[in-house]
Chain A
Amino acid sequence: MSVLPLLDVGLALLVVAVATWTMAARDLFASVLGYVAYGLLLALVWVRLHAPDIGLTEAAVGGGVTGVLLVTAGKRLDALKAATSGAAPRLRVKILAGALSALVAGALAFVVASLPTPAPSLAPQAAAAAAGPGAGLGNPITAVLISYRAFDTMLEKIVLALAVLGIWSVGADAAWGGAPAPLRKARPDGAMVLLAQILAPIGALIGVHIFWVGADAPGGAFQGGALLAAMWMVAMMARLVEAPRIGSRALRLALISGPAVFLAVGLAGIAMAGSFFAFPPAFAKALILFIETFMVLSVAVALPMMVAGPPEGGQEP
């Protein structure tokens, strides 16, 4: 084992270098590309840390969805910049901002440095819980997410729904209920249409596969949902499908189905197993898969709607 440490150190240095470049880049497009490269590298790092679950999430979110989100946001900022070109911040403001950043970084460093050894950890309790009510699942990470920290997991999905709501609320009043602008204005090339036609169905299959094996192997609801989201966006980018109107009942139901079903099952737990979010052991696995199915749906709908942005009233240019 002499090559492996070398590979790891090289990878770590590369991550820092790409991160630094991403921050220093002047050009928006270049720095977003740097960020995508950074996401891809982080996915490799997570795999080297024996956390393929997070590697998958990072690949889908950091390398994929966020890149598109940033580019779309940047495009809108460019449009805004033409209208409101403010003066560059003054030296005093720059120094103040720098000092504030240094203060926060210093405080964080202090906290991390002053942690007792061994660092306090909930890992033993989580592992015990995963072996208890989540014992039906072979993947301890899914077990912890759904049974040990069920409440957090549910709240995360509510945050997703709230984020989409926040983005929708930025749109003009007149556009409320309409569809977001398409991800591509120009007519797509034949090659892009062909790519999307083949890639999207295969990708959807792989997304479902990753969700399904998540019960017993690395993968899970968020990873599967994120891949499905990416494939929906592929279809939207090639204009195979259009973004739905935000007033659509089906869309809204899909968006909240994840947390809603989770909450309903959690409440039912009071009656069935004696406490909030407790699952009766006999059919814990079936229940968890049931909840996760709806969470996949919510994630797969929420991420593309965030990228698509606020409604534009369907008045296409």
Chain B
Amino acid sequence: MNEILLAAAGLIVAAVAVGLARILRGPADVDRLMAVQLLGTGGIAALLLTAYATAVPGVDDVALGLALLAAFATMAFLNHLDAGEGGAEL
């Protein structure tokens, strides 16, 4: 069973890694942002799967931290993009 969990983690990491090609290609900054967000979620999933397969203690707290910060980078980058457009739409 543990092998299957690890294989699942491997597949997810591989999938989101391929998705990172969007960082390379863009074309819009928003597309790059989405690729990083997918990596974050996929990373959390892979982390949980490997944690349950290998029984490393404390990993659920790392996943908790990653989940908290999932929106963090996105918020910051959107602030940057909005400012770049001069977009104070009131």
Which residues does A use to contact B, with CB under 8 Å? 2-4, 6-7, 10-11, 14, 18, 21, 29-30, 33-34, 36-37, 40-41, 43-44, 47-48, 50, 52-53, 55-56, 59-60, 63-64, 67-68, 71-72, 75, 183-187, 192, 195-196, 199, 202-203, 206, 209-210, 213, 217-219, 223, 227, 230-231, 233-234, 237-238
Q: Which residues of A contact B57 (CB under 8 A)?
A: 52, 217-218
The 8 Å CB contact of B77, one of A29, A60, A227, is A29
Evaluate whether A47 and B3 lie within 8 angstroms (CB atoms) in the complex, with A33-B32, A218-B57 already known. no
Q: Which residue of B26, B39, B75 is within 8 Å of A237 (Cβ)?
A: B75
> When the two chains form their complex, are residues A47 and B13 in contact, meaning their CB atoms are under 8 A apart?
no
Enumerate the 9 nearest inter-chain pairs by beta-carbon distance, A residue then B residue, closest first: A218-B58, A68-B76, A3-B6, A52-B58, A64-B69, A186-B88, A184-B79, A7-B10, A55-B62
List the A side residues contacting B71 at CB < 8 Å.
Answer: 195, 199, 234
Interface flags for B26-67 (1: CB within 8 Å of A; 0: not) read 100100110110011001001100110010111101101110
Q: A187-B90, A233-B72 are in contact. List 19 more A-B contacts (CB 8 A).
A: A2-B3, A10-B13, A14-B13, A29-B32, A33-B73, A43-B43, A43-B47, A43-B66, A47-B51, A47-B62, A55-B59, A56-B62, A67-B76, A72-B80, A183-B76, A185-B82, A186-B79, A187-B88, A230-B69
Q: Which of B1-27 contact A (CB under 8 A)?
A: 3, 6-7, 9-10, 13-14, 17, 20, 23-24, 26
**Which residues of A are found within 8 Å of B79, using beta-carbon distances?**
183-184, 186, 237
A-chain residues with CB within 8 Å of residue B78 when the two chains form the complex: 192
15 CB contacts below 8 A, A to B, read A33-B36, A34-B23, A40-B40, A43-B47, A44-B47, A50-B56, A59-B69, A60-B69, A67-B72, A67-B76, A68-B73, A186-B82, A195-B71, A199-B71, A233-B72
* Interface residues contributed by chain B, number (CB under 8 Å): 52
**With a CB–CB cut-off of 8 A, which chain A residues contact B87?**
186
* Residue of B with least CB distance to A200: B68
Shortest B12–chain A CB gap in Å is: 10
In the bound complex, CA of A150 to CA of B69 (Å): 29
Chain B interface helix/strand/loop/mixed: helix
> How many Å lie between the Cα of A219 and that of B62 in the bound state?
9
A187-B90, A195-B71, A237-B79 as given contacts; A56 in contact with B32, CB under 8 Å: no
Say what secondary structure dominates the interface of chain A: helix
Give CA–CA (A195, B76) in the complex, Å.
13
The residue that B62 contacts in the complex, of A52, A72, A233, with Cβ under 8 A, is: A52
Tell whether, in the assembled complex, residue B77 and residue A44 are in contact, meaning their CB atoms are under 8 Å apart: no
Partner of A7, one of B9, B29, B83: B9
Query: CA of A196 to CA of B75 in the docked complex: distance in angstroms?
Result: 10
Q: Decide yes or no: A199 and B24 within 8 Å by CB, A14-B17, A44-B46, A75-B80 being known contacts.
A: no
Q: How far is the CB of B59 from chain A (nearest CB, A)?
A: 5
**Residues of B with C-beta under 8 A to A44:** 13, 43, 46-47
Which chain A residues border B7 with CB–CB below 8 Å?
3
Minimum C-beta distance from A221 to chain B (A): 14
Do A4 and B61 touch (CB < 8 A)? no
Identify which of A41, A71, A213 contacts B43 (C-beta below 8 A): A41
Q: How far is the CA of A264 from the CA of B7 in the complex (A)?
A: 52
The reply to whether B13 and A230 form a contact with Cβ atoms under 8 Å apart is no
Are A11 and B13 closer than 8 Å at their CB atoms? yes
What is the CA–CA distance of A10 and B7 in the complex, to the nearest angstrom? 12
